[in-house]
Structures are given as C-alpha cells and as structure tokens.
Amino acid sequence: MSDFDYDLFVMGAGSGGVRAARISASHGAKVAVAEEHRVGGTCVIRGCVPKKMLVYGSMFAEELGHAENYGWDIEGKSFDWKRLRDFVNNDVDRLEGLYEKTLQSHEVDLFAERASIAGPNTVKLASGREVTAKKILIAVGAWPAMPDFPGVEHCISSNEVFHLEEKPNCLMVVGGGYIAMEFAGIFNALGSEVTVVNRTDRILRSYDEQIVDRMLHIAMGRGINFKMHSKIAKVEKTDDGCLLVDLGDSNPLRVNQVLIATGRKPKTDGLGLENAGVAMDEKGAIKVDEYNRTSCQSIYAVGDVTDRVQLTPVAIREGHAFADTVFGNNPRTVDYDHIPSAVFTQPPLAGVGLTERDAKNQYGNVKVYSSDFRPMKNMFNPHAERGHYKMIVDEASEKILGIHMIGPESPEILQVAAVAVKAGLTKQAFDDTMALHPSMAEELVLLK
C-alpha cells in the first residue's frame, strides 16, 4: 500500500493539468485534480477558444457588410450581442463537459475547490481537508494583470469580457499585446467605436515589425483609434453609467467600457509555496528545471504559472512530458525553439522563427524574400487591404530562419510553413515546390 492518498495531485484543471493527469493515469498512477473555477482552464473557459469564436462572429459582420458584391441582398439585417455571447458560452459549457468526461474516463478524482500547498507532499483543500500525494503538479495558470490607478474597479479584464450584458458602443482597450489587439478587432468589426491605449509606441513586440506596421495601417483604416505613449491616470463613473477616462491631458474620454489587457501574471498568490520551499522568480513565476521540477523535489509545475511560454500547446506538451518522465519511465523535455504563434486580428498575422531584426542581430547577413499582394478574396471588400508574406534566410546557408505573414487565414497557412522552419529547410526547398493555384499559400513558393 502507498504511504500517500495519491501518486499525483494536480492543482489546476487547465490544458496542461488535464493532459498531465490523463497521461499519468494511463501510466497507472492514482491521480486527483483540484480546480477552483471550471474544468478547462484559461484557454477553454475564458481565453483562446471563446475568443476565436467571437472572432468568427465579427468576421461574419465584415462579410455581411459587402454581401452585395457576392450577389446577395439582405434586408433587415441586425446584430444581437446577447445571442452571439450565449452561443459562445454554451459551447464553452459543452467543452467543459468533455474535459470532465476525459478525467472521469481515466478514473481521475476531481475536487471542485481550491487547493494550496501545505507541505512537500500535502495539499490543503478549501474545505479544510488535507490530502497527501507522492508528487504534486502545480498547473494553476496565470491571471490578468490589472494596473493600479484610481477607478480601476470600474474596468474589466479579458475574464469578464465574454459575459458583458451589452455590446459597448464605445470601448477603450488598454494594452499592446495580442489580447488587446484581438478584442479591439472583434468589437470594431461588431460596430463599436474602439480606442487602443498603449504606454509605448510599439505593439506586438515579439512579432516582425514590418508585419505589425501593416496590421496597424489596416486597423486604423478600419476605424480603430490608437493613442500611443499614453496611460490611464484615473477612471470615473458618471451618473448615467458611462466612464470618463483621464489620460493625463485636458480632455477625458467618455466610453461605455474599459478593457484592461496589459498581460497576465502567474497565479501564485496564496498557493502556500513557502510551505514546501518552492522558489519563484521576481515576477512571481515558479522556477522549474528542464523536467518541470521545482526547487522542492516532490513538486513540479507546468504551463503559464512558470511563465516560460504562455501558450496552450506549450502547456499541453509540458504536461505530457511531465507525465512520461515521472510516471512513464520515459524522461522527456520540451523543445521551445521555433514555436509558431498568431494574432487573430482582422486580418490575422502569424509568425515562426526569427524576425528580421533578430535574424540580423544573430546572423549578420540575411536575405529577405517577400510578397506584397491583394488576396483574391479581398476583391469583394471595398477596402483595398493587401497581404504581406516574408521569409528571412541565412545568406551563407540559405537556411530559413523565419516566416512571417499577414492576410486572410494566415494562421492556417503558417502552421504548415512552421514544419519547414522547424525541419531546417532551405529557401530552395520552397522554390522546388510547385504552386497550388489560385491560393494565397502559393505566395510562399513564389517569394522573390
């Protein structure tokens, strides 16, 4: 008989925690999971999945706007935010049920309450019960970072935006990352007046500057207003429910809603990490080694709580590698090189590998191949928006260092192109590949 209640206790039922629990159980471990909110975590419940569905809803609004060019006459068209919101949230409920079934089918015990660390092999549940485990995995994710200014309590984060009672006629989005840019695009397409406030003059810092500049040009052409080098001094709520936002100048902006999207921080507050000597960095992220082990030998961590790469597929890989290493007798690490990523703006942008700036800094002499084109689909659109693809190549070896793009369906195209970058292929491999015509993807094998 084991000296512990469980072989593994997982704190957090997000993408990384659920994958770790499922795989560990398949290796024969007795597993329990504690989740204080809803099974599925940030991605499924309040992140990429419902947000992408809102993107689809807002894209339809754009298509509807020039339906006559497709030959359709649509009379009496109108938009109902609550109907879209409820459809999205109902699908979130469906996905949560699937995640719960996955845990049940692998005989994983689920505690629907918060858990904290009570010792190297002990967790304490919110109900007061203490549970022991041979290994503990922390996978509680991250939480929106809210700035400190008077009136911040009147603002919302990306957690609450999926549950708004009404679509704001006038929305301010604070931040310059992918969350801010995506929600700005969503509500702009749905008819809201959108202003983006950013404390610097750069947005989407990790993406190729030329691609980001194209996105900014298109976003401004669609009516999104950008206020760079700005930050909120205070927010006041008026008697009619609107918000007056003071940006430090003489003219406060009047909006219906302020969405704070200035990043997410590891959710380590109150976890009791000090009770087991689990070390954190200066940002509050849990420090781990290449096998996801913390400074406490019996405690591991994966996903956003470690603040390595805050992406769902990364958390899933880390959770799987942990389970194989600890319970599958197959030590595995995660390769963080050449991770593809995308921003579901309208149009979306995507990239993998080094940006042009980073490639020049690391390799010195590089070649840049590009294509600037108007996608055929955009011929129906009264806005003359152009796509842009670029490939950065090491001049000496012709090895592809990065691929970056903006245009319709860029994330779908980039995922396949990422395989080529990961495999270390050269530009010649693309040149030798026959084009698939007519398609946007063919631009990748025709780059000059």
Q: What is the pLDDT of residue 1?
A: 55
* Cα(54)–Cα(81) distance, integer angstroms: 10
Residues forming a β-bridge with 136? 9, 299
User: Residue 114 CB: number of other CB atoms within 10 A?
Assistant: 19
Burial of 399 (0-12, 13-18, 19+ CB in 10 A): middle
Q: Is 304 annotated as a binding residue?
A: yes
Annotation: CATH topology of 6-144+265-327? FAD/NAD(P)-binding domain (3.50.50)
Q: Is 180 annotated as a binding residue?
A: yes
- State yes or no: cis peptide before 266, omega within 30 of 0: no
What architecture is domain 347-445? 2-Layer Sandwich (3.30)
Per-residue pLDDT tens, the chain, 448 aa: give them. 579 999 999 999 999 999 999 999 999 999 999 999 999 988 999 999 999 999 999 999 988 988 999 999 999 889 999 999 999 999 999 999 999 999 999 999 999 999 999 999 999 999 999 999 999 999 999 999 999 999 999 999 999 999 999 999 999 999 999 999 999 999 999 999 999 999 999 999 999 999 999 999 999 999 999 999 999 999 999 999 899 999 987 789 999 999 999 999 999 999 999 999 999 999 999 999 999 999 999 999 999 999 899 999 999 999 999 999 999 999 999 999 999 999 999 999 999 999 999 999 999 999 999 999 999 988 888 877 899 999 999 999 999 999 999 999 999 999 999 999 999 999 999 999 999 999 999 999 999 9
Residue 133 φ/ψ, nearest 5 degrees:
-150, 145
Q: What is the pLDDT of residue 66?
A: 87
Centroid of chain to Cα 297 = 30
Closest CA to 208 of 370, 328, 438, 431: 370
Q: Is 181 annotated as a binding residue?
A: yes
- What's the pTM? 0.94
Q: State the maximum Cα–Cα separation within the chain, in Å, rounded to a whole number.
A: 72
Q: Token pair 């152009």 is at which residue?
A: 386
Q: Is 52 annotated as a binding residue?
A: yes
Residue 312, C-beta contacts closer than 8 angstroms, at least 6 positions apart: 15, 42, 43, 47, 48
Cβ(321)–Cβ(293) below 8 Å: no
Tokens (6 digits) for 379: 């011929």
Active site residues: 437
152-262: CATH number:
3.50.50.60
DSSP code for 377: G
Strands 193-197 and 170-174, by their bridges, are parallel
Task: DSSP for 242-307, please give it.
Answer: -EEEE-SSSSPEEESEEEE-S-EEE--TTS-GGGTT--B-TTSPBP--TTSB-SSTTEEE-GGGGT
Every domain range in the chain assigned CATH 3.30.390.30: 347-445
Centroid of chain to Cα 183 = 12
Q: Token pair 């389970």 is at which residue?
A: 323
Q: What is the pLDDT of residue 246?
A: 95
Q: Hey, is 212 helix, strand or coil?
A: helix
Tokens (6 digits) for 132: 């022991």
* Cα(196)–Cα(230) distance, integer angstroms: 10
Q: Hey, is 332 helix, strand or coil?
A: coil
Ramachandran region, residue 54 (left: φ > 0; alpha: ψ -120 to 50; beta: rest): alpha
Every domain range in the chain assigned CATH 3.50.50.60: 6-144+265-327, 152-262
Q: Is 178 annotated as a binding residue?
A: yes
